Amino acid sequence: MLSPFSNLECLGLLAKRLILFNIIDLNQGSDILTITDSSLPITHYPLPTGFFTTRIDIMRKTIRSTTTAPQSPTIPATDSNLPAQQAAGFFGREQELQQIERVFVKDKTRRLTITGMSGQGKSSLAIEAGQRLYHSGQFKKICLVDYGAFSKQDAVDLAIKTLARVLDSDLVNVVTATEALKDIPTLLILDNLDMISLEQLPKLLEVAEQCSEVGACRLLLTSEQAEFEQFGEFLNNHHILPLSGLAKADALAYFEQLLALPPITPIKPPKSAEVLSLFKQVAFHPLSIGVLAIALKTLPPQEVERRLPTLLEQDDPFWALLKWALENLIVEIELTGALYWLAILLKRNTKKPFRLDAKTVRFLPRLSVFQGGVFEPDLLEITEVTKKQWYLLCSALQTAGLIKLEFLPDFKVPYIKFHPTLSPTLWPHFSSAEEQAFIFSDYQQRYAQLAAYMAYEESKNMVQVHALVQHDFSNLLHAVHSALDAQEVWAVQFVKNLNIFLNYFGFQRDSAILGQRAEIAQSQKKKK
């Protein structure tokens, strides 16, 4: 039975029948709406043009940040590998930026370390300093080596190979690196030194010092503490810049920008005096301000003021604050497609509340198995968080500054880069040791399968495969070493597949270590 719509009144009658029958079937890819009822024959209704959208996804209209690529970098890709700032951008720290420029340019100091507790904004300041020093003409190249996701990798090799990509040179050791740096004023940034083991740190600082003494090159480090007393030569010509909380005006400007980011809520923005009172309790700590912004998107400041002291008294106050903020996050999302028009016709609210369910919050610690970041499909597969829940969680974590989305050329899905605080914060909070072990086992097997697939696909899609592997080295290395530790039967093959890429990218020492471990594992297997 065909019944074309002549006007909106007829469509309104249809809407009432839909509510009555409680059965709606939208045929994908066509403008046909089908209604079925046990007592009636199947009925097909052609819909007005534009009434039906081929994909109804109620989240994507409200939460745009998970599908929008970041802005282009301000430095040409040929001159720098600096990552983009977090979604909210960079705020304040003008005095610190001026101090960095004065130390490097006017005072001719070769080495500077930014210190401060995790979440204070050390990496963001280093990135901003690199941007400004490049544009002022002080450096021709800016190279950032990120140890935030550091996992079982040779620290010196990582620095040399990263520098080689920025300089577009074939560097194999510190000798070739210093030779290449002689005529190229370069700022070398070693970010998150706290992640490097005490066994590797002395050698890395020795190599970094040599690079910083060449030509017009300089070295910028970030670390929670600058405990370099045992490195006498390194401390010569070295400056320490400690970071504390944001200034009041900068904190307010930062918070205002956070409120403008997804998830957007209808709540009235709080007054400056109210939020400053809250910020004071967290010492104007930028990462904590980000988490407070999530809470203040939904809750009145009086409620946050009431609960905050109790949360800060917990054994892990940052986790307590984050969990509480996410549990209370509610947004209003606009209906789309047929559901939107039906609500209009029935004069009902076109928006509906949406919140993180208890299961998603309980699954949040599962993110901690990843080392520094993860491609979105792997995250969804291992954590078992649904896509709709992830879109809301993702936007909240972006606002807080706990994750950033990186989009690789020719890849539709983003790489989710973690703040170094995220995984260590979440890891102790699995619901049980059994769940933790189960998820970590899934993680190991997922990356073993990925290594096998990448080894198979390399000859067919070399550029894309290499881009994937380079971004995921930290997870691949962590998974393979832990699989060897657990004596998994498939660990040796995992090593063989991963060593293809380690050798290609010049990480021979890492490859040799894995090869030795695989030989030991095989010999032990034969003895059994």
Q: Is 62 helix (H, G, I), strand (E, B) or coil?
A: coil
Q: How far apart are CA 267 and CA 301, in angstroms?
A: 11
Q: How far, in Å, CA of 434 to CA of 431, rounded?
A: 8
**Percent of the chain with pLDDT strictly greater than 70:** 85
Give the domain ranges of the chain.
8-46, 94-242, 248-424, 433-527
pLDDT digits (tens, 9 = 90+) for 59-80: 223 223 333 333 434 799 999 9
For residue 158, the one-letter residue type is L
> May I ask the CATH class of domain 94-242?
alpha beta
Instruction: Convert the pLDDT of each residue in 236-255 to its tens digit.
Output: 889 999 999 999 999 999 99
Mean pLDDT of 204-214: 94
Q: Which residue has the higher pLDDT, 339 or 486?
A: 486
Average model confidence (pLDDT) across the chain: 85
b/e 233-255 (16+ beta carbons within 10 angstroms → b): ebeebbbebebebbeeebbbbbb
- pTM over 0.85? The answer is no
For the residues 403-415, what does the mean pLDDT come to?
91
Beta sheet of 25-26, edge-to-edge order:
25-26, 32-37, 40-46
Decide: 160 and 172 in contact? Cβ < 8 Å: yes
Q: How far is CA 419 from CA 59, 299, 405, in A?
A: 25, 25, 11
Half-sphere exposure of 59 (CA within 13 A, CB side): 19
Q: Which residue has the higher pLDDT, 55 or 511?
A: 511
Instruction: Give the DSSP H/E element, type plus range, for residue 143.
Output: strand 141-146
- Is 40 or 175 the better-scoring residue by pLDDT? 175
Per-position b or e across 118-142, b if 16+ CB within 10 A of its CB: bbbbbbbbbbbbbbebbeeebbebb
Contacts of 352 (CB under 8 A, 6+ apart): 58, 332, 333, 335
Q: Is the pLDDT of residue 225 over 90?
A: no
Which of the four pLDDT bands, split at 50, 70 and 90, describes residue 46? very low
411 in Cβ contact with 449 (< 8 Å): no
Length of the chain: 528
SS3 of 318-379: HHHHHHHHHHCCEEEEECCHHHHHHHHHCCCCCEEEEECCHHHHHHHHHHHHCCCEEEHHHH
Tokens of 490: 């498939």
Is 90 exceeded by the pLDDT of residue 96?
yes
Is pLDDT of 40 > 50? no
153-203 pLDDT tens trace: 899 999 999 999 999 998 888 999 999 999 999 999 999 999 998 899 999
